[in-house]
Amino acid sequence: MTRILGIDPGSRITGFGVLDFDGLRPLYVTCGCIRVQDEPLSARLRTIFEGITEIVDQHQPEQLAIEQVFMHRNAASALKLGHARGVALVASQLRSLTVHEYTPTQIKQSITGRGRGTKEQVQHMVKVLLSLSAAPQQDAADALAVALCHAHIQGTLANVEAAKQRALS
């Protein structure tokens, strides 16, 4: 069983989701958001770092799946997002997690079947795929989607490897 921490980085709200994956199906562990106060960026980054460190210490994941930074319209927002992502990566590296990065398109494709799925579609599919009683908050759902994307890709890679081994024997 592999424990995966999914992170949806943000400079105001950083979503997290934790899944266990047995190679066949993902199992929900927990999710939530690290919310920061309206304070200077450096203080917000410290809060995000401490929050992720606490999550890693509490839930002991082996792998981190995180969304890659993308440039949409605002360069300043992309830079702040990059800073938040950076502290998440440092927190995970200090705890020796294996890091896997996915683009927003890869994540949406994996969860909704469309690379341009809406946030609402992602939220709904996370609820369905994990058999949750209610849809998680949007940033937490996005983090669970990152973890689910990683689990799907890891499962596919394991199946391909098993097929190769069968073909060789």
Does residue 22 carry a catalytic annotation? Answer: no
Q: For this structure, is 139 an active site residue?
A: yes
Q: Which of 38, 57, 67, 142 is catalytic?
A: 67
Q: What is the DSSP letter of 116?
A: T
Question: What confidence tens digit (pLDDT) does each residue in 43-94 have?
Answer: 999 999 999 999 999 999 999 999 887 666 777 777 878 888 999 999 999 9
DSSP character at residue 115:
T
Catalytic residue, from 50, 139, 142, 161: name it.
139
Q: Is 8 a catalytic residue?
A: yes
Q: State whether CATH 3.30.420.10 applies to domain 2-168.
A: yes
Nearest to 128 by CA among 150, 144, 114: 144
Considering 8, 22, 39, 101, which one is annotated as catalytic?
8
- Average pLDDT over the chain, rounded to an integer: 89
